[in-house]
Amino acid sequence: MSDQPAKVDDSQSPPKVIKKFRKGDLIKVDRVKYLNSLESKASDNNLPEYIFQGPGEVLLIKGDYCQIRWRRPVPDVWISSDHIVSY
């Protein structure tokens, strides 16, 4: 009997998640991606221009959504990471 470690099968391990953004990243909303999304059709049509000009700061990331804080006296917002780009 030998005490050799068992080989780990990589097919059993969960896939690694590649994150687009990290906490503290500066971002802006991509106008074309956002306006062509399902979320834009369910939201107000008159969006403030500052979200497209940036910069906003990523505060939290949960799943596919990022909480963004703008450098203005406005509430933080949750936006899909598919709709934002680096500043």
Question: What is the per-residue pLDDT for 6?
Answer: 59
Q: Quick check: is 2 in a domain?
A: no
Q: Quick check: is 64 in a domain?
A: yes
Q: Quick check: is 31 in a domain?
A: yes
Question: What is the per-residue pLDDT for 86?
Answer: 94
Question: What is the per-residue pLDDT for 59?
Answer: 97
Question: What is the per-residue pLDDT for 20?
Answer: 81
| Contact status, residue 54 vs residue 22, Cβ threshold 8 Å | no
Q: Quick check: is 76 in a domain?
A: yes
Query: Burial, 27: exposed, middle or buried (Cβ in 10 Å; 0-12, 13-18, 19+)?
Result: buried
Reported as a single tens digit per residue, the pLDDT across 56-66 is 999 999 999 99
What are the residue ranges in the chain where pLDDT is below 50? none
What CATH number is associated with residue 29?
Answer: 2.30.30
Question: What is the per-residue pLDDT for 26?
Answer: 96
Q: Quick check: is 16 in a domain?
A: no
Q: Quick check: is 41 in a domain?
A: yes
Q: Quick check: is 44 in a domain?
A: yes
Distance CA 79, CA 38 (A): 12
